[in-house]
């Protein structure tokens, strides 16, 4: 199975919802198979903006079992190139989104996201999006 870089939107959906959504179930399967990848900037996004200390520490502890996938200078440079490419096409994105794209492309990873921006990026960038089996 291919390795899959998990976007903030997927982690967030899985942690916020009480019921088991298809997205959360697919994430669970990726985690169990060892295919799920977490990068530091996604970890930061997940932990940012949590007002309640107990909730922050609970989430921080859940995420602590995952190592951050290494990010290189090449990844940051690729992210900047991807940002420039998309901007020329009138498509905006966050620095983290383009870094996700760069890490995925440079390491032959799929991207699992619920963020529609990535589908717009895919028109101009060589990213591959993970298509959940559960629909």
The pLDDT of residue 16: 81
Residue 1 contacts residue 107 (beta carbons within 8 Å): no
Q: Which residues make beta-bridge pairs with 37?
A: 5
What residue ranges define each of the domains in the chain, with the CATH number in brackets?
Answer: 4-121 (3.40.50.1010)
Among 37, 96, 2, CA closest to 121: 96
CA distance 62 to 109: 23
Q: Measured at the alpha carbon of residue 98, what is the angle toward residues 14 and 33, in degrees to the nearest 5?
A: 40
H helix count then E strand count, the chain: 7, 3
The pLDDT of residue 134: 59
pLDDT tens sequence across 70-89: 999 999 999 999 999 999 99
Residue 41 contacts residue 9 (beta carbons within 8 Å): no
* Other beta carbons less than 10 A from residue 106's beta carbon: 15
Does 135 score more than 70 pLDDT?
no
pLDDT tens sequence across 21-61: 889 999 999 999 999 999 999 999 999 989 999 999 999 99
Which residue has tokens 């291919």? 2
Q: In whole numbers, what is the pLDDT of the chain averaged over residues?
A: 94
CA distance 42 to 62: 14
């Amino acid at each position: 199975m291919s390795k899959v870089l998990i976007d903030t939107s997927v982690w967030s959906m899985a942690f916020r919802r009480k019921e088991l959504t298809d997205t959360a179930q697919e994430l669970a399967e990726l985690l169990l198979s060892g295919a799920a990848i977490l990068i530091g900037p996604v970890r930061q996004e997940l932990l940012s903006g949590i007002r309640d200390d107990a909730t922050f520490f609970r989430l921080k502890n859940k995420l602590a079992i995952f190592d951050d996938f290494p990010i290189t200078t090449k990844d940051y440079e690729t992210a900047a190139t991807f940002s420039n490419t998309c901007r020329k096409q009138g498509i905006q994105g966050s620095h983290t989104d383009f870094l996700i794209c760069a890490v995925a492309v440079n390491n032959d990873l799929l991207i699992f996201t619920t963020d529609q921006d990535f589908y717009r990026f895919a028109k101009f960038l060589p990213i591959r999006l993970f298509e959940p089996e559960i629909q």
